[in-house]
Each structure stands twice: as structure tokens, then as C-alpha cells.
Structure 1
Amino acid sequence: MYGRGFWDSIGYRFLKSVNIQDVLVFTVAVVFFAWEIYALSVGRATARSGLPDNYGNFEKNMRPIESGEQKDSFSFGVVGDPHSSGTFERLCEKLQNEPLSFIVITGDFSKRCRKRYHDFFIYQCANTYDLSVPVFLIPGNRDVDYDNTCGNDISMDQFRSMYGPENFCFEYSGCLFVGVCTFPDHVSSAGGIDYLENTLAARRKKGQKVFVFTHVPSVMKPGLKTGTFKERNRFIEIVNRYEVDYVFASHYHGYARSERDGTVYLVTGGGGAELAETESFGGLHHAMVLAVDGDSVSEKIILAQSRQKPSSRLARASLAYLNPVLAKHTAGSIAVNLLVFAVFCRSFGKCLLRANETKRSIAGR
């Protein structure tokens, strides 16, 4: 079937000389170098593209909403604690099919408050989530080093630079929307509460619907355990005084709804993080869609199954783990690369020697 030229060819003899150890060395080397190249390319692409223009609490993101077409009826999305997960990717796919005017993420959109996890979130925003409407971001305890205990994590100043102010507000179609920064109760959230009070005092209009977004819940359904924040009582007093219609929060990894003094308190923390409860107690991966039509507001829950795409796992591992090591330990990275390359060349050379020995053995017969 094959001529003598094939059997005597260096390629065939080389393949015959390869053993299991060589296959293992070649495979490890190829995977190692391929992952490095991919990680570096993803890192450069993320640095080059940055956060898409429709994400963040910047004035440029709010201005088109306030100055654009005002509608009698509209919808907006709310989701909390996505943790940059694959489940959140699936929720985004479903939110794309909803006629939304904007989306608010109520905190913990990053897996951790280290920059490398924010890099992964930004990569996902630019390459995976495919959300075309404005997306506003409430800072959560996983997004910011709020108590200054970690040193090298994202500070509030860095958050502002990356995503815009932590407190924000805008008006749309006769409704007022206010984002308020709150953190767990061992640190103060007074700045956010002051902002809420001042904003409502200045901009609250009679007959206007008001929606407030924060990370840590102020009111929870009885029996569900979660943290709150120091200024909780003052927050509730302000909400009652200005007759806020809805307060959205997350932090608790699940769904909970309660009403108090005419205000609906919705906890929507099932955006992708590990769930806190069983399904019967609100343990659902979900997002919320609120439809406003005149004086009425309807609520819809968007459900999704937990999942993680292999491509997202690879991107997370590259941006959150490999790239920081390559950047921090440059000399060590070069040394490891040289070592892997040397082992690869050594195995390759041994295979060539064995191939030549095979040729001489055949020639001597």
C-alpha cells in the first residue's frame, strides 16, 4: 500500500520513535504555551476595549435616558449578585428578548473585589453579555474593598473611575430612579443615605413613582437571614417620609418580596451566585423585569438554570489567575517558559536520535 519511500521517511521513523513520555511532554508544552498566548491576547483585548459605553453610572449613560423619548409604558430589568457567572450569561440571553429601557445590577457583579476579577467582568461585558441598553451598577461588598482590609483590592475611588459615582439618580417617563451605596453593618453607609435624602428632597414630585436601588437589604421577609446596614432605620424612615414605591436590593442570594407601609421591598440576589436557600424559600437563579404603565407596576421573574460555559471558565482562569502571575512574576515566568521549552526540545531531540538509530538499523540488515 505504501512505497519504500514512506517507510524510510524521517516523519514515519520519528512517529515510531515517540513514546508515552514524549507524548505527555509535547501535550503539556503545547497546552502551556497555547494558554499563555490566549491569556495575553485576552488581557490585551480587555485593556484595549475597556468597559462598553452603555455600562456604568456616568452622566453620558444617563443623559440619553432623560433626554430621549419618554413613554407612557416601559420596562426595566433588575438583577443582583451575578458574580460574573455563567448563569448570569444565560439570564442576559433572556433579558435580551425583553423590551427594556435599562438594567440595574444591584451589586456583587464581580466575583471578588480584586482588579483581576473586575477585568474578567469587563471582558464579559464587552464580549459575552451582549446587553445593548444602559446598564447601571450598584457597588456591592464583593465589588469594593469597602473596609480597607485587603490593601490591593479595588477602592471606592477606583470604582468611581471605572464605573462612575456610587450614588446616582435619573428621571425617566415621569419616574425617579435612585441608586444608593450601602455596605454591611460594620462600616457606615451614611454617605449613601445622605444622598438618598437630599435627592428625594430636591427631586421628588407629587404623583411621581420612585424606585430605589441598593445592595444590602433594609427589610427582609420574616425567617430569611441576611445582613443589613448601620443606617437601616434612618433609611426606612426616609423611604416612608417620601413614599418610595419600590426598594430593590440583593446581597441575599435568592428572591424575597415583602411590603411595608406602602413600599414594596424586593430582594433579587439570584443573578448567578451560589443560592442561599432551597427553591421553595426563594432559592432561584433569576432576574426581575418591572413593567410601568401609568400608575400601575407589574413584576415578572426571569428564571435560568445554573451553568458555566467552558469558554467563560477559560477566560476567567486567564484573566483572574494566569495574567496576574505573569505580570507580577515576570522573571519567574520567563524562567518557567525557558524550562518548559528546554524539556520540549530535549524530548524532541531524543525522538530524532531514536529515529536515526532506527534508520541505521534498517540499513544494516
Structure 2
Amino acid sequence: MLVGLTACLPAAPAAPTLAPTLTHTPVPTSGQSRGLLLLRGPYLQSVAANSIIVAWETDRPSHGEVVYGEAEEYGASVADPALGARHVVTLTGLAPYTLYHYRIVSDGEPLGADAAFRTAAGPDQAEFTFVVFGDTRTQHQVHREVVARILEQGTDFVLHTGDLVDNGWDTGQWAAFFEIERELMARASLFPALGNHESNSPLYFDFFHLPGNERWYTFDYGNARFVCLQVDGFADFGPGSEQYGWLEETLVANTQPWLFVYFHVPLYGSVPPHSAPFAEMEETAQRALAPLFERYGVDMVFSGHKHSYERNEVNGVTYIVTAGGGAPLYWAGEREPTQAAFARAYHFVLLEIDGDCLKATTISVEGEVLDQLERRIDAATLPFLPGQD
């Protein structure tokens, strides 16, 4: 649970800029792999303290391998034993919150430049940053400009609140998404939530490699727990559903000081619902989910869908709509009585964790600060840890 607008100590510094990453242009290779083109990636998935997934796709079947190490000389490698166009390689045995260089190769020939990632912070690492944004489905130039601003922050990882593309069944739209996100996803793991425009497409599950069942999942990073839900019109989340039961079990089991939840359709927002079904979904979510968030001490809830930025403070929980990643902006209707901030602007939210302090800064595509808040954990509401007196 968060305490008011209590000022924190200086926020954690942004992670340092990582080593050069791949360019946006597919790179032909030499030797045995001459003419092989890199169509997608490499992109990072499901970063953890001791492991990370590296995925990529080439224009034709090939052998794939990741060479990596704490220096550009690498020193270690993992190969995908299958011959194919799509490759998914998991690197294990890594050190927490450590910078690694990596490169993908095929038949001993590089498929691009050296890149770098940082593994996740372990439970003893309480300083890190992350970015949240969403609704990148159209207006690719705006999406590109938002990503460029995010890259300036050197963030550790990224959450996406859904509607990555306009039509989840369109392979061309996914190709455009990954091309725009190429440099960012080569540096930092993207943890997306399903939006209604993904349309429950199997392509989403082909491209992303996420924890759990990939629809709703959880992961820990440093001293925080993150919970992703499927609130998009394609899955039940009410009492008695599989997702609701899983959510309550996950919240009950949490022992991390910070607790964040994210999904697509928001509980609160001044932009009117698109249609009656979405209005009903919002009302159902308020009745079903808000009591769980309040009961189990969720600190912040991030959503998208309503193309704007908005922050509402409701019964000790901060609800943030971050849906300004590229899709056309919406106008607000009647102001929510719990509204603390609103901006009709393309943007992202940068969060900096420094122990028991949090700083959230909403930054527009032009670089303007739209909203900023600092919070400190209320020690009286922290989860009880085994062994505590």
C-alpha cells in the first residue's frame, strides 16, 4: 500500500546506455550464410535474474546460435538444435542485474552487430527502472517517436498495456510493430498484456514467450512483483473464473514490498467507453477486481485502451491509464471524481524504484513532463515474510 504524496529520497538513476544494438535494416551475412536476412529481432523475452530468452526470425530456415558474455569477446554460446526460420534460445546460469553482450550467428557467421542486455534484479537489488506504455496499434511514425524517447531513458524492462497492433491476425502489422520496436526489444524485455485489437490471435502467442500461460502471468523483479491480466473481452476475469482464482492466489502469495498489476481495459477513466459491452466490462472489473487490489495491497494498476494519459487515486490504489503509444488520441468526457491527472498526449510512464521509494514520471513524445509523483511504501502494510517476528 502506498502512502500519499510523501517525498522520497533521490530516485534511482536510469540504467546506463547499453552497447550498440542492431540496425533496422536486415543484415546479410557472409560465408555459409551469405544472403540470409534477419526479418525479426533479435528480441528479448522473460528476463529473470538468472536467465533470458533471445528470439529472432530469418527469411529462410537456418541454424541459429547466441554467443554471449560479460565482454564483447563473449566466451559462451547456446545453439538452437533445430533448423528453422524462427529461433528461440534460453540463456541460463546468468548473474543477477549484470550487463551481458550478445550476438546471434548462423553457421558461425554473425547476423548483426553486438547488442547487450541486463539481467533482472534479484531480491537483494532494490534499485531499477521500468517503462509502461500502450496502444501502439496505428500511426507508426508516432509509435516510432515514442520508442525513441523511451530509448533515451535506458530502462531495464518495459510493460505494454495492450493493443500492440490494430489487427492481431495481420502478419504485416506484426512485422511493422517489431521493426519499430527492434532496437528497444534488443536491449530490454517487453512484457505485454493482451488488448482487444490482438483479437486473441494465435500470432500473439507465436511471437511472444512469456511466463505462465502467457494470457495472465506474474514475475518478480528486484523488490517488486508484477501481475499481468487478460482484460480484453476474450477472457472471463470475474469471481468463479480460472483467472480470478489465479489472481487471488497470486496476490495472497506475494511477499514483495511493491506490487503492480497491468492489463488492457481500465477500471477508471474519463474517456467514455467505446460501446455498451466495454462499459459493462469496466463496471464488472470495478466490482470484481478493485476489492482484490485494495484487500491485498496493490500499489499501482496500469491499463490502456482509452487513448490518453490519466491517473486516478481510489481507496489507496493508484490507477494509471497509459494509452498514448501511437493510436489516435481520444477526448475526455465527464471527469472522474477520483481523477488526479489527465493529458491528451502521446507519452510513456517511467518508473524508478529505489528501495521503499518510487518515482513515476509521465513523459510526452516531445519530452515534456506531463505528470510526476513520488511515493513511499507504508511499512505497516508490507506483506508478512516467513521468519519475521
Query: What's the TM-score bracket when you normalise by the shorter of the two chains?
Result: 0.5 to 0.7
Q: After the TM superposition, which of the residue ranges 280-289 and 52-61 deviates more from structure 2?
A: 52-61
1:118 partnered with 2:174: yes
1:109 partnered with 2:164: yes
* Distance change (3 Å), C-alpha of 1:57 and 1:296: closer
1:199 partnered with 2:250: yes
- Structure 1 residue runs of 5 or longer lacking an equivalent are 1-37, 147-153, 306-365
Match of 1:163 in 2: 208
Shift of 1:51: 4.5
* Distance change (3 Å), C-alpha of 1:194 and 1:159: farther
Shift of 1:194: 3.2
Q: Distance in 2 between matches of 1:209 and 1:198?
A: 17
Match of 1:350 in 2: none
Deviation string for 1:8-35 (max 9, x for gaps)? xxxxxxxxxxxxxxxxxxxxxxxxxxxx
Deviation string for 1:133-186 (max 9, x for gaps)? 11111111111x24xxxxxxx24xx422321312221112211111111113x8
AA in 1 matched with 2:251: L
The alignment of Structure 1 onto Structure 2 pairs a total of residues equal to: 250
Shift of 1:73: 2.2
Shift of 1:82: 1.2
Match of 1:285 in 2: 346
Deviation string for 1:313-362 (max 9, x for gaps)? xxxxxxxxxxxxxxxxxxxxxxxxxxxxxxxxxxxxxxxxxxxxxxxxxx
Pick from 302, 314, 319 the counterpart of residue 248 of structure 1.
302
Shift of 1:48: 4.8
Shift of 1:46: 11
Q: After the TM superposition, which of the residue ranges 241-250 and 128-137 deviates more from structure 2?
A: 128-137
Match of 2:262 in 1: 213
**Which consecutive aligned stretches of 4+ in structure 1 deviate over 6 angstroms post-superposition?**
56-59
CA RMSD of aligned residues (A): 3.4
Deviation string for 1:277-302 (max 9, x for gaps)? 27x95211000001112222111111
Match of 2:40 in 1: 50
AA in 1 matched with 2:307: H
- Equivalent position SS for 2:42: coil
Matching of residues 178-327 of structure 1 within 5 Å: 178-184=227-233, 188-189=236-237, 190-202=241-253, 204-205=254-255, 208-221=257-270, 224-225=272-273, 227=278, 228-229=281-282, 230-277=284-331, 282-304=343-365
AA in 1 matched with 2:356: D
Shift of 1:71: 3.0
Shift of 1:231: 4.2
- Equivalent position SS for 2:187: coil
* Distance change (3 Å), C-alpha of 1:191 and 1:66: farther
TM-score between the two structures when normalised by the length of structure 1: 0.60
Matching of residues 22-37 of structure 1 within 5 Å: none
User: Whose radius of gyration is greater, 1 or 2?
Assistant: 1
More helix as a share of residues: 1
Q: Distance in 2 between matches of 1:51 and 1:167?
A: 24
- The answer on whether the counterparts of 2:308 and 2:344 sit within 8 Å (CA) in structure 1 is yes
Q: Distance in 1 between matches of 2:306 and 2:47?
A: 23
* Distance change (3 Å), C-alpha of 1:102 and 1:293: same
TM-score between the two structures when normalised by the length of structure 2: 0.56
Shift of 1:111: 2.2
- Structure 2 residue runs of 5 or longer lacking an equivalent are 1-24, 29-34, 54-89, 97-118, 333-340, 367-389
More strand as a share of residues: 2
AA in 2 matched with 1:120: A
- The answer on whether the counterparts of 2:135 and 2:161 sit within 8 Å (CA) in structure 1 is yes
Shift of 1:269: 0.5
Q: Determine what percentage of the aligned residue pairs are the same residue.
A: 23
Query: Quick one: higher RCO (CA 8 Å, sep 6+), 1 or 2?
Result: 1
Shift of 1:248: 0.2
Q: Distance in 1 between matches of 2:327 and 2:196?
A: 13
- Equivalent position SS for 2:289: helix
- Equivalent position SS for 1:121: helix
Q: Distance in 1 between matches of 2:252 and 2:298?
A: 12
